Structures are given as structure tokens and as C-alpha cells.
């Protein structure tokens, strides 16, 4: 059992306060050199003796029963070593415990064009390709579903034999506070229907995995994964091997953005094949297969209704909001249940909202599965909300900046849906971009065809709960020191390009007062490193960072004791800096860091410390309260200037001003990279990126196929498309973050898309209520405007959905206790739940001796 | 699938290497699989992303579209040949210092394309840099840090002192704005 989580209090802190030497300064990332010399080893760069290759045969039809598989011709291809089919994988898997709906290879049924059916191994990649081409699969077609509306209309046949109803995977309805009363008390009601098209991560690196059989029935998987721990769990379950015999190592990812955070079919297939053949097996997906694996942004249709009140001081306040979302989930669960909740969860953390109702539905469709992409489930409703607010500003005659500044959520409060907001820098962000862009002077006053738009956003600094219930740390860090003076740091986190290795090294180097070159990292290796849940939900800097602080402070404490004794000075007076441990009052008295470690090793023996991090518990205790809580929230605001050609509808972003509430930059140059990268990706989404599908003609199977499964046809911004970006980093350290740091990986994307839509309105006076915004949409809206019709392009209506009984949760202001007053019967295993219907606290579980509660999930049993 | 093999000598990073490979294999495949020069990356293998760019006789070529069998007698340069001894090439140093390489996957192709640009034009404007690199996709950086890194490297290669302005590292100074 891990020690209780405890931060060293200031009184016990052995080092006096001092200015950080490294934190907050730009430094070359620790993996920077390897990345510019070609030395970084991505998964496809690995090669092992006797390595062979696997190709997957993927379904060519969108929904069908597999009648038969004929391997006859394929077996004759020279170099073929073996095959696997669905029969070899009876056990399902999936990222969420409630959606164990995938098989490494489809056993009986395929659900989208691209679903893998057969795996072929051969001595060369060419031979594997040729054999895969010769596998014949006979399908019996089933009716297909291509949209949420079709799923609502077609409850049978079901794509899956589970889910809330028919082809609806998840239906959610939650009411926080007196929503109807809020609408009744409003001076005005605003309603909008808004559409957000799906898109994909498009990481530059195609997914790749290599499995290597080891001695004693063990296997190692090297993979491009953001979440090696979750891959480890899926492999354990599907292969039926003890977790201790499986090792997963995440290589440096060539970009992730959420697209490598599910356990994937191909990872499981190569592990199984390696164990079958007794030799290393590699697979690298083609770019088309990357599009098919997807797990990208859900297409979401939204309906938002807001009541507002005009206050006597000129401000506008929200009295209540109802948000409805309909998610097109694709063929499998993936993160979809969480995605559904996320389309509703974070609407409350930016502006005061006394009453809030959220209703969401996720449908199964016969398309590649959607999942988490940068912002996971929140960019779509954020787009809707911020465009909606722009309309409220226009109608009420308020400047959009003043409208928002007048209704900001307060720091250190709990929202209507029971999220605890801590530091809150949104006001400063708005003020920075407004001042920087001259928004007050220029908005509404630019010549025709030019416009400015403002929008905001907020994101988690790590999901408050892990993906599977457990009471263990969400991040662990281990530090080993020895007489060399070198510091080895071990952590399960995965470097996906964001710079998490550098954050880890910098925190430890700062606290121990050594240089970055004295730090050696061992990361993302389930055999060697303590568990960290992975690079998703913007959790790494905060969670890993706090674990690293604890481990490093424990090491510093031990060294200070030994050095203090040796030098006969109080350990509390020792400073760790510049590679030395010295007396604060007499800097010449001290030891080099290496001698200090030698003294400590001599006194205490072999040296290693650990640190762990578990987020604080959320006050929300209703069903669904697990999605949304975070130790801290980051905030962003953007102003974007556009030019629009009214003759063609073509538009271009001219300049982006973005401010991000980072808490504290560990390394500002890495923060800048995330901000600019987030702006870029947001622009891509609103300018051009879309995962669109079309049906093939009936004689060609009626299949739903990806319109653009190539990098040429799936348009993404190039060097030529990127406007200048002015970035402001708002630093206001958050007590929950290491050195005060908050997230930056996802937040800065959020305001970009709505800021563009709002800027287009300022430029030409039409509303485009959907993303991406194509020129023809602007043109059609302009034509409608010219005819005197509604100057708008967007969806007409939200579908009729029966959301069932809503969960009624009184708000903090109503004196609620975080629980629902009509809690539903619990469908989850009772052992995991306390009387209140939520997960038992770790303390409660230990008190009740529910040890099984703490361990069962690790077995990965269904 | 053809079983034909080609045997030839390739000049890579100034060294002569003998290789035997299936004739239909691309330069990308031969570099990575026969010569273990895995610094050159692939993102699409269809000539769409620029990740596999190498220099052939000093000009950027998409190695996924070039047949290795046609490369005899040509001077091929890959990212592994960029550094001088153990010293980073100025482009490599500025990319590392500005975080112009985040995941680093598109980086080798961009470095090689930028090297060709600077050989031809030692003082490129921002627009010239963007135009030269427009065939290389990057999903991490938003491109600005790459342009700034090429610009800074060009200055260093011209023997000029100095570093980029503080905004490049820290962001712009937050403007004072009294709350209304």
C-alpha cells in the first residue's frame, strides 16, 4: 500500500524560498537534440532479429455478418507465416469498462468499412500485403446507419447488443437547479441549433507497433501510444496472460492529439501473433488505416437555450441554460460515454450559470469510431455557446467583451453542476486579447468584408477520475540517486511531442538544484516505471508534476539530513542549487551535489524515493459526476480578425490574438508551442478539416466510406494558411499545480472556432452556425440576407429524442449536497459503490475492508 | 509483386553504401530498411505530407515517390548527415531551441527542405521560407516556430549574432487594460 499522499508543508521544507533557476525560463527540451538529428526512435524505427510483418484484412462493407473466410490463395503466397481470425480473440476489450465492445479481429460481424477481420503474418511486408490482398471474406450485408437521425429511426437491427436503447449507445439527462424557473424569470430567451462536423487528429506518424516474445511466456509491445497503461490492461484481458508477463513501452509518439489513446486492434494482434510465431512482429498502419482507426472528434448537433436578465448596472446575466447534444459515435464505444458527458460538463465553468440542464445522446453508426480529440467533447458545445453569446451581445447591444466580463464565473466557487473552480484567469485573458487587438475600438467598425470576433474557453487540468474505478495514484514518479551524482527519474507518462519529458526533468532538476544534463529519464514502460495513466485530458503536467515534486522533495529531505549532519549545520538552512548543496547563510560552506549524494548513500544506504498524486475528490456525487471534475481549469480567450470576400464567400484569418491562463509556465517555450499548435489545429477545424462520409451506390454495397482518407484530400492547413498569432501567457499560479502550473495542451484550441464564426458575422453580417465554415455557406447566407431571409447558414432543428427521466441535482446555491434527489438504480457492480451511489472514497473502502474493491479491476475481468 | 532485385552503390551522406533491394522499393524504404537510416520518416507514402523529404544532388525529393533503383551516382543527404561531427547544424540547433520540433516526426523532412532553401537563398524572407516549406505538413507547431527557427539559423549561417526577440520564447507582453 502506498504511503498516504502528503505534500511537505512549508515548515518542514528544508530549503528556504528562492527564485527558481530553471522553472519559468525557456530551455531546450530534453529530447530536442534527438528530434533534430533523427535519433528519436519512433515505433516504426524499431527492428529486431527475425522480425516479421503483419497486415490486417479490413472489412470492405459497413455492416455485415461474416459468412466465411477463405485463406486458400493467401496461404500460397511465399513467405506467409500464419493467420489470425476472430476465432483467436473471443475476449472483447475497449477503453472504458462500460464499453467492452471491440474485438482484436471481428468474430462474427463487421460494423464499419475498415473493421479488421483477418491478420496475416509474413517474412516481408510485401508478402504480407500480397497475402492480405488474397484473403477472401464472404459477407451477408445488414442495413446500415449513417447518422444520429437514422439511428433514432432504426432501433433494429442493432449495431451492438448493448447500449441504452436500440442503436443509441448512451442517453443522458441531468438537471441542475431550477431551470424552468430560470427561463420564466428571464427577460429574454435565446435559442440556437448548431452543428459541428467531425474531424480527425491526423498525427504525422502512422500508428505502429512491434511485439517481441520474451523468455518465460512473456511479451513486450512497443507502440505509438499515449496510454501504455491502458494498452497493458487491454492486452492482459484479451491475451489471458497475467499482467506481470506483459510489458508495454510507449515510444515517442509522432503526434497524438487523442488519436493514440485507445488500445487498438493492431496492438493486440501483433502481441498475439508474436506469441504464436515465437518471433518479433511489426505492423505499421497505412495512412488510410489511420483514418479508419479514427477516434476523432464526434460530429455533434446541438440545441442551446439560454435565459438572460438585464441587470440594473447594464450587465447581462444568465438565468438558466439548457443544452442538448446529439453525437454521431461511429461503430464502437471508445471513449464515447465520457465524450457524451463532456459535451455538457464544462459549460458552467466560464460564466455564472445558476441553473443548467444537459441532455445528450450518442448513437452508434456504421462509420469509424469517434473518440477523444484535443478538447475531448468540449469544442463542439463551446463553439455553440460562444456563437450563441455573440448573438446575445448583438441583440442586447453589449460589446461581446463586456457581455462576457460581466458574467464571469467567480474563482473558488462550485458551479451548478458541482465543479470546483479554483483560480480563474478568464477576465485577464479577455482583457489581454481585447487590448492587444484593439477590439473595443475596431469591433463593429471595420470596413465591409473585415471583421473581428471574440470567444473564450476552458479546459481540465486532468480528469479528476481515472478511466477505471480504483483508489491508486493517477501518477507515480520514482527517483533513484547514487554516488555518480546522476539522477534517474522513472514515470509511466508518455511523451507525445507536448514536452512532458522536459516537464518531468525540469521539476526534479529544479528541486534538487542540478542541471538537466544530470537527469536521466525512463518513461512509459509498464515493466520499469510507476504507473501514470497516460497523456490525455491534459493531465500530465499537473498530475505527474505533483508526483515528481513529492518524489524530489523527499530526496532533497534525505540529502539535507545527511549533509546537515556532516557539515554540522541545520538541514533547514541548506540550499540546493547550481549543482551544490550549501548553507544559505554562508554559501561557501557546502558540498557538490555528487558529494552530497555520497554522504547520503553512506548514511542511509541505497537511495530511491517515490511520489504519488491523487486528485482531490470532487464535491459532485450524482451519477455522471465523474466527468468534468478537475484539480484546476485553464482558461483562454481569442480575438480573430478575418477578411471575407462577399462575391465568393471565401474567407481568411488575418490575425489571431490569444491569451491563455497557464497558472505558471514550467518552460514558456514549450507553452508557446502548445498555444500556437492549438490555435493552428482550431483554425484547421473551422477552415477546412472534416471527416465526411458518403454512401457508395447500391450496386457497390451501399457502403459508408470516408470521403477523404488521404492527407491530400483531407485538407489541413499548410505553412501558407497560418496567419500571424500574438500570444499572451497569463501567469497566476494555481495552488493545485506543480509550481502553480496549469494545462496548455488543449485549452487554447477551444476559442478559435467560435471566434472565427463571430468574426465572419462582424465582417459580413451573416451567421454560420456550423463548423467548418466553407465559402459556399457564407455565400448562401449572404444570398439569404440579400433576399430578406434569415442571414444564416446552419442546421434547422434538433432531432426528437426521448431523454427519459432527468436526474435532478440541487445546486450548491439551493443547499444541495452534490447528490441527485432521484438517484437511479445503480447498474454498476455494487461493491464499488458506497451508500450514496458514488465510488467509495479510498478511506471508506479501507475502513470497510473492501480490499477487493481496490484490486479487482486490475484483473481486467468483465 | 515483382521478385526482381537491384544491386547498386548508393552515395548517402558522403558515404558509399552497397545495397540489394527489391527493384520496386522506394528510396524511403531502402534508406530505412536496408541502410537503417530511420531518421527519414513517412507520413503517407503517397507524396502528400513531406515527412520523407531528403536531398538528392542538393534538391529536396520526396523519397517515398523516388525509386532507389534510379539513385545510382546521385548524392543523397538525410537528416543523419546534417550535423557536423558532434556539432548540430545551425538549423538543428535553432529548431531544438525554439521547440520547432515538438513530436519531431515532420522535422527531418523540414530540416532537409530548409537546408536546400538556405543553400539557394541565404537571406530568405518569411514568405519565402513559408513557400519553400509549403509541401511539408506539421500538426504540432502551428508552423510559426519553424519559420522563426529557419530565419534564426539563416542569420547564424550568415555569421550574424543575436537571438530572436523575447516574444518568441515568452509570448508578447500582456497589455495593460483597465477593466471597464
- Give the pLDDT score at A839: 47
Mean pLDDT of B136-151: 98
Residue A647 burial (10 A CB sphere; 0-12, 13-18, 19+): exposed
Is residue A157 one of the residues assigned to a domain?
Answer: no
Residue A603 and residue A537 share a domain: yes
Alpha-carbon span A421 to B63, nearest angstrom: 51
Return the bridge partners of A138, or none. Answer: A68
**CA–CA separation, A232 and A88 (whole Å):** 19
- CB nearest to A497's CB, from B83, B140, B179: B140
Integer Cα distance of A230 and A539 in angstroms: 15
Contact A768/B at CB under 8 A: no
% chain A with pLDDT above 70: 93
A720 touches chain B (CB under 8 A): yes
**Burial of residue A808 (number of CB atoms within 10 Å: 0-12, 13-18, 19+):** middle
The neighbouring-strand residues paired with A839 are A833
Q: What is the mean pLDDT of residues A641-658?
A: 98
CB atoms under 10 Å from CB of A315, counted, come to 15
pLDDT band at A862 (very low <50, low <70, confident <90, very high): very low
**Are residues A661 and A710 both part of a single domain?**
yes
Residue that is written with C-alpha cell 463553439 in the block: A383
Residues 6+ apart with CB under 8 A from A370: A198, A294, A295, A296, A297, A298, A299, A327, A328, A329, A330, A334, A336, A339
- For A218-343, list the strands marked E by DSSP: 218-223, 246-250, 281-284, 300-310, 316-328
Mean pLDDT of chain A: 93
pLDDT at residue A4, as a whole number: 39
- Domain extent at residue A573: 32-40+472-613
Which DSSP category does A653 fall into?
E
Q: What angle do CA B172, B178, B179 make, to 5 degrees?
A: 110
Q: To probe the interface with B, which of A28, A31, A37 has the most B CB atoms within 10 Å?
A: A37
Examine the pLDDT at A8 and tell me if it is beyond 60: no
Given A557, A590, A613, the domain boundary residue is: A613
Q: What digits encode the pLDDT tens for the residues B69-96?
A: 999 999 999 999 999 999 999 999 999 9
Is A559 within 8 Å of A611 (Cβ atoms)?
no
A62, A178: one domain: no
A26 in B contact zone (CB under 8 Å)? yes
Answer yes or no: is pLDDT of A825 > 90: no
Average pLDDT over residues A308-329: 98
What does the pLDDT look like over A547-565, one tens digit per residue?
999 999 999 999 999 999 9
Within-domain flag for A389? yes
The span from the CA of B48 to the CA of B64, in Å, is 10
Indicate which CATH number applies to the domain containing A337: 3.30.365.10
Residue A705, pLDDT > 90, answer: no
Cβ <8 Å between A255 and B176:
no
| pLDDT tens figures, A127-180 | 999 999 999 999 999 999 999 999 999 999 999 999 999 999 999 999 999 999
Convert the pLDDT of each residue in A454-509 to its tens digit.
999 999 999 999 999 999 999 999 999 999 999 999 999 999 999 999 999 999 99
pLDDT at site A846: 54
- Residue of A28, A205, A659 lying closest to B96 (CB–CB): A28
- Based on the number of CB atoms within 10 Å of its own CB, is B131 exposed (0-12), middle (13-18) or buried (19 or more)? middle
Is the Cβ pair B174, A670 closer than 8 Å? no
- Check residue A375 and give left, alpha or beta (phi > 0: left; psi -120 to 50: alpha): left
To the nearest whole Å, the CA of B137 is away from the closest chain A CA by 6
> Hunting for cell 473552480 — which residue is that?
A421
Contact between residue B78 and residue A38 where contact means Cβ atoms under 8 Å apart? yes
Which has the closest alpha carbon to A260: A295, A225, A229? A225
Alpha carbon distances (Å) from B107 to A40, B66, B140, B150, B163: 11, 20, 11, 12, 21
Confidence of residue A845 (pLDDT cuts 50, 70, 90): low
Question: What pLDDT is stored for residue A331 in this prediction?
Answer: 98
CB contact under 8 A, B108 and A670: no
**R_g of chain B, CA atoms, integer Å:** 19
- Residue whose entry in the numeric block shows the C-alpha cell 530548409: B114
Exposed/middle/buried for residue A608 (C-beta within 10 Å: 0-12, 13-18, 19+)? middle
| Helix residue spans in B30-179 (DSSP H) | 90-97, 107-120, 126-132, 144-157, 166-170
The rounded distance, in Å, linking the Cα atoms of A592 and A576 is 10
Q: Averaged over A603-625, what is the pLDDT?
A: 97
Is there a single domain that holds both residue A461 and residue A476?
A: no
What is the side-by-side strand order in the sheet with A116-122? A80-85, A116-122, A52-58, A281-284, A208-214, A218-223, A246-250
Run of H or E including A272: helix A265-277
Three cell numbers, residue A211: 511485439
CA A282, A286, A288, A294 dihedral sign is: positive
pLDDT over 90 percentage in chain B: 95
Among the listed residues A740, A34, A111, the one whose alpha carbon sits nearest the alpha carbon of residue B79: A34
pLDDT of residue A821: 95
Q: Per the domain annotation, does A786 fall within a domain? A: yes
CB B110 within 8 A of CB B39: no
Give the DSSP H or E segment for B9: strand B5-12
Per DSSP, the residues of A457-501 read: EEEESS-SS-SS---S-SEEEEEEE-TT--EEEEE----SSS-HH
Cell numbers describing residue B59: 534538391
Give residue-wise pLDDT tens across range A789-819: 999 999 999 999 999 999 999 999 999 999 9
Is the domain of A132 the same as that of A99?
yes
Q: How far apart are CA A574 and CA A558, in angstroms?
A: 12
Closest Cβ opposite residue B111 in set A36, A126, A206: A36
Cell numbers linked to A141: 450485408
Q: Are strands A300-310 and A188-196 parallel, antiparallel or unpaired?
A: antiparallel
Check whether A858 has a pLDDT greater than 60: no
Last residue of a domain, one of A751, A776, A793: A793
User: DSSP for A710-757?
Assistant: STTTS----GGGPPPEEEEEEE---TTSGGG----SSGGGTTHHHHHH
Residue A26 lies in a domain: no
Tens digit of each residue's pLDDT (9 = 90 or more) over B88-138: 999 999 999 999 999 999 999 999 999 999 999 999 999 999 999 999 999
| A304's grid cell | 442551446
Alpha carbons A36 and A48: distance in angstroms, whole number: 24
Domain stop point among A563, A583, A613: A613
Q: Indicate whether A842 pLDDT > 60.
A: no
Yes or no, beta carbons of A711 and B80 under 8 Å apart = no
As beta bridge partners, residue A66 has A139
Which pLDDT does position A836 carry in this prediction?
Answer: 42
Residues of chain A with C-beta less than 8 angstroms from the C-beta of B45:
286-287
- Say yes or no: A190 and A228 in one domain: no
- Residues A388, A621: contact at Cβ < 8 Å? no
Task: Give yes or no for B21 touching A (CB within 8 A).
Answer: no
Number of helices and strands (H, E) in chain A? 21, 34
List of chain B residues whose C-beta atoms are within 8 Å of the C-beta of residue A712: 44, 46, 48
Do A53 and A134 share a structural domain? yes
**Distance (Å) of CA A371 to CA A104, A197, A296, A334, A490:** 18, 14, 5, 6, 29
CB contact under 8 A, B41 and A204: yes
Partners of B16 in beta bridges = B11
Q: Determine the 3-state secondary structure of A612 from DSSP.
A: strand
- Provide the domain count of chain A: 4
Mean pLDDT of A435-445: 98
Report the alpha-carbon distance of residue A665 to residue A675 in Å, rounded. Answer: 12
Confidence of residue A848 (pLDDT cuts 50, 70, 90): low
d(CA A30, nearest CA chain B) in Å? 9
The residues near A239 (Cβ < 8 Å, ≥ 6 apart) are: A219, A246, A268, A271, A272, A275
Q: Tell me, yes or no, whether A334 and A210 share the same domain.
A: no
Q: Is residue A5 part of a domain?
A: no
Share of chain B above pLDDT 70, in %: 97
The answer to the question of residue A803 being in a domain is: no
Question: A112 exposed, middle or buried (CB, 10 Å; 0-12, 13-18, 19+)?
Answer: buried
Backbone angles phi, psi at A193, to 5 degrees: -120, 125
Chain A residue numbers touching B174 (CB-CB < 8 A): 428, 432, 659, 728-730
CA distances from A533 to A33, A371, A541, A617, A738 (A): 27, 17, 12, 17, 18
On the question of pLDDT at A532 being above 80, the answer is yes
Mutate to test the interface with A, among B20, B49, B104 (most CBs of A within 10 A): B104
Q: Which residues of A456-488 are buried (b: 16+ CB within 10 A; e: fewer)?
A: bbbbbbbbbbbbbbbbbbbbbbbbbbbeebbbb
Does B92 lie at the interface with A, CB-CB under 8 angstroms? yes
Residue A295 is predicted with a pLDDT of: 98
Q: Is B96 on the interface with A (CB under 8 A)?
A: yes
In a domain, A722, yes or no: yes
Q: Are residues A850 and A705 in the same domain?
A: no
Q: What domains are there in chain B, each with its CATH number?
A: 5-81 (3.10.20.30), 90-163 (1.10.150.120)
Q: Is the pLDDT of residue A299 over 50?
A: yes
| A401 and A433 belong to one structural domain | yes
Does residue A818 lie within any of the structural domains?
no
**A812 or A832, higher pLDDT:** A812
- What is residue A830's predicted lDDT score, i.e. its pLDDT? 33
Residues paired with A325 in a beta bridge: A302, A360
Residues A652 and A772 in one domain: yes
Name every residue whose Cβ is closer than 8 Å to that of residue A11 and which is 6 or more positions away in sequence: none
pLDDT for the residue numbered A827: 39
Write the pLDDT tens digit of every residue in A772-791: 999 999 999 999 999 999 99
Q: Do residue A175 and residue A227 come from a single domain?
A: no
pLDDT at residue A843, rounded to an integer: 58
Here the CATH number for the domain that contains residue A237 is 3.90.1170.50
Instruction: Give the pLDDT confidence score for residue A847 in this predicted structure.
Output: 59
Q: What is the pLDDT of residue A697?
A: 80
3-class DSSP state of A617 = coil
Quote the cell numbers at residue A459.
479546459
Amino acid at each position: 500500500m502506498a504511503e498516504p499522499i502528503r505534500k511537505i508543508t512549508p515548515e518542514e521544507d528544508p530549503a528556504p524560498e528562492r527564485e527558481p533557476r530553471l522553472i519559468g525560463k525557456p530551455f531546450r527540451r530534453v529530447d530536442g537534440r534527438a528530434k533534430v538529428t533523427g535519433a528519436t526512435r519512433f515505433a516504426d524505427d524499431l527492428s529486431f532479429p527475425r522480425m516479421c510483418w503483419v497486415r490486417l484484412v479490413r472489412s470492405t462493407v459497413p455492416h455485415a455478418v461474416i459468412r466465411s473466410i477463405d485463406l486458400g490463395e493467401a496461404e500460397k503466397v511465399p513467405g506467409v507465416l500464419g493467420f489470425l481470425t476472430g476465432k483467436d480473440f473471443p475476449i472483447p476489450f475497449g477503453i472504458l469498462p462500460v464499453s467492452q465492445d471491440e474485438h482484436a479481429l471481428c468474430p462474427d460481424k463487421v460494423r464499419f468499412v475498415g473493421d479488421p477481420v483477418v491478420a496475416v503474418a509474413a517474412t516481408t511486408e510485401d508478402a504480407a500485403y500480397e497475402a492480405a490482398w488474397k484473403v477472401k471474406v464472404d459477407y451477408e450485408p445488414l442495413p446500415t446507419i449513417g447518422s444520429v437521425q437514422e439511428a433514432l429511426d432504426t432501433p433494429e437491427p442493432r449495431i451492438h447488443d448493448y447500449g441504452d436503447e436500440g442503436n443509441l449507445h448512451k442517453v443522458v439527462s441531468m438537471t441542475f437547479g431550477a431551470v424552468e424557473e430560470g427561463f420564466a424569470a428571464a427577460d429574454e430567451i435565446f435559442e440556437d441549433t448548431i452543428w459541428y462536423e467531425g474531424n480527425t487528429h491526423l498525427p504525422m506518424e502512422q500508428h505502429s507497433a512491434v511485439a517481441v516474445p520474451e523468455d518465460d511466456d512473456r511479451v513486450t509491445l512497443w507502440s505509438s501510444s499515449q496510454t501504455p497503461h491502458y494498452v497493458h490492461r487491454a492486452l492482459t484481458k484479451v491475451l489471458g496472460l497475467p499482467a506481470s508477463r506483459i510489458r508495454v513501452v510507449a515510444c515517442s509518439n509522432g503526434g497524438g492529439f487523442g488519436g493514440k489513446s485507445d488500445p487498438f486492434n493492431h496492438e493486440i494482434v501483433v502481441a498475439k501473433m508474436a506469441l504464436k510465431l515465437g518471433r518479433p512482429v511489426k505492423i505499421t498502419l497505412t495512412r488510410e488505416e489511420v483514418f479508419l482507426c479514427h477516434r476523432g472528434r464526434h460530429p455533434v448537433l446541438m440545441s442551446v437555450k439560454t435565459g438572460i436578465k438585464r441587470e440594473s448596472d447594464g450587465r447581462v446575466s444568465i438565468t438558466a441554460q439548457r443544452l442538448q447534444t446529439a453525437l454521431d459515435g461511429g461503430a464502437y464505444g471508445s471513449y464515447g460515454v465520457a465524450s457524451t458527458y463532456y459535451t455538457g460538463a464544462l459549460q458552467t465553468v466560464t460564466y455564472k450559470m445558476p441553473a443548467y440542464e444537459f441532455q445528450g445522446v450518442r448513437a452508434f453508426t456504421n462509420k469509424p469510431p469517434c473518440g477523444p480529440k484535443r478538447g475531448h467533447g468540449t469544442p463542439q458545445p463551446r463553439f455553440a455557446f460562444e456563437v450563441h453569446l455573440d448573438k446575445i451581445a448583438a441583440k442586447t447591444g453589449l460589446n461581446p467583451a463586456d457581455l462576457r466580463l460581466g458574467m464571469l464565473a467567480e474563482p473558488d466557487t462550485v458551479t451548478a453542476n458541482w465543479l470546483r473552480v479554483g483560480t480563474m484567469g478568464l477576465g485577464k485573458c479577455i482583457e489581454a486579447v481585447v487590448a492587444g487587438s484593439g477590439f473595443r475600438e475596431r469591433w463593429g467598425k471595420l470596413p465591409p468584408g473585415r471583421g473581428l470576433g471574440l470567444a473564450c474557453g476552458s479546459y481540465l487540468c486532468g480528469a479528476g477520475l481515472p478511466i477505471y474505478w480504483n483508489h491508486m495514484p493517477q501518477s507515480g514518479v520514482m527517483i533513484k540517486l547514487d554516488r555518480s551524482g546522476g539522477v534517474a527519474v522513472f514515470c509511466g507518462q508518455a511523451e507525445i511531442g507536448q514536452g512532458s519529458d522536459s516537464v518531468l526533468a525540469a521539476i526534479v532538476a529544479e528541486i534538487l538544484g542540478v542541471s538537466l544534463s544530470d537527469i536521466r529519464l525512463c518513461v512509459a514502460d509498464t515493466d520499469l516505471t510507476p504507473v501514470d495513466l497516460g497523456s490525455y485530458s491534459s493531465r500530465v503536467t499537473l498530475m505527474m508534476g505533483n508526483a515528481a515534486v513529492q518524489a524530489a522533495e523527499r530526496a532533497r529531505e534525505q540529502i539535507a539530513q545527511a549533509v546537515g549532519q556532516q557539515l554540522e549545520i541545520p538541514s533547514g538552512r541548506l540550499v540546493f542549487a547550481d549543482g551544490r548543496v550549501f548553507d544559505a547563510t554562508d554559501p561557501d560552506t557546502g558540498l557538490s551535489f555528487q558529494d552530497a549524494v555520497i554522504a547520503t548513500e553512506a548514511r542511509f544506504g541505497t537511495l530511491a524515493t517515490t511520489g504519488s498524486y491523487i486528485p482531490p475528490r470532487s464535491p459532485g456525487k450524482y451519477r455522471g459526476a465523474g466527468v468534468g471534475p478537475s484539480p484546476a481549469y485553464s482558461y483562454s480567450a481569442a480575438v480573430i480578425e478575418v477578411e471575407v470576400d462577399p462575391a465568393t464567400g471565401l474567407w481568411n484569418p488575418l490575425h489571431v490574438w490569444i491569451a491563455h491562463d497557464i497558472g505558471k509556465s514550467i518552460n514558456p517555450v514549450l507553452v508557446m508551442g502548445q498555444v500556437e499548435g492549438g490555435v493552428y489545429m482550431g483554425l484547421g477545424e473551422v477552415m477546412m478539416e472534416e471527416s465526411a462520409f458518403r454512401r457508395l451506390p447500391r450496386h457497390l454495397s451501399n457502403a459508408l466510406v470516408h470521403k477523404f482518407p488521404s492527407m491530400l484530400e483531407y485538407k489541413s492547413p499548410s505553412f501558407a494558411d497560418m496567419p500571424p498569432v500574438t500570444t499572451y501567457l497569463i501567469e497566476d499560479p494555481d495552488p493545485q499545480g506543480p509550481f502553480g502550473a496549469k494545462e496548455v495542451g488543449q485549452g487554447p484550441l477551444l476559442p478559435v472556432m467560435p471566434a472565427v464564426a463571430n468574426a465572419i458575422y462582424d465582417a459580413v453580417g451573416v451567421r454560420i452556425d456550423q463548423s467548418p465554415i466553407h465559402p459556399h455557406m457564407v455565400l448562401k447566407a449572404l444570398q439569404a440576407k440579400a433576399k430578406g431571409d434569415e442571414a444564416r447558414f446552419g442546421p434547422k432543428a434538433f432531432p426528437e429524442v426521448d431523454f427519459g427521466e432527468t436526474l435532478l441535482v440541487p445546486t450548491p446555491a439551493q443547499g444541495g449536497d452534490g447528490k441527485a434527489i432521484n438517484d437511479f438504480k445503480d447498474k454498476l457492480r455494487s461493491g464499488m459503490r458506497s451508500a450514496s451511489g458514488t465510488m467509495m472514497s479510498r478511506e471508506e473502502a479501507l475502513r470497510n475492508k473492501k480490499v477487493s474493491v481496490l484490486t479487482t479491476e486490475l484483473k481486467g475481468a468483465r | 509483386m515483382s521478385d526482381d532485385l537491384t544491386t547498386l552503390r548508393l552515395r548517402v551522406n558522403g558515404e558509399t553504401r552497397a545495397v540489394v533491394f527489391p527493384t520496386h522499393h522506394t528510396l524511403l524504404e531502402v534508406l530505412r530498411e536496408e541502410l537503417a537510416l530511420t531518421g527519414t520518416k513517412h507520413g503517407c507514402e503517397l507524396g502528400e505530407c513531406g515527412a520523407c523529404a531528403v536531398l538528392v544532388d542538393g534538391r529536396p525529393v520526396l523519397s517515398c515517390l523516388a525509386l532507389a533503383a534510379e539513385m545510382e551516382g546521385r548524392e543523397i543527404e538525410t537528416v543523419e548527415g546534417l550535423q557536423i561531427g558532434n556539432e548540430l547544424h545551425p538549423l538543428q540547433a535553432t529548431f531544438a531551441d525554439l521547440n520547432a520540433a515538438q513530436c519531431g516526426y515532420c522535422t527531418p523532412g523540414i530540416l532537409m527542405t530548409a537546408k536546400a532553401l538556405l543553400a539557394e537563398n541565404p537571406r530568405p524572407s518569411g514568405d519565402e521560407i513559408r513557400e519553400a516549406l509549403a509541401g511539408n505538413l506539421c500538426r504540432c507547431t502551428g508552423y510559426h516556430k519553424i519559420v522563426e527557427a529557419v530565419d534564426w539559423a539563416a542569420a547564424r549561417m550568415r555569421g550574424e549574432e543575436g537571438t530572436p526577440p523575447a516574444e518568441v520564447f515568452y509570448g508578447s507582453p500582456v497589455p495593460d487594460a483597465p477593466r471597464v
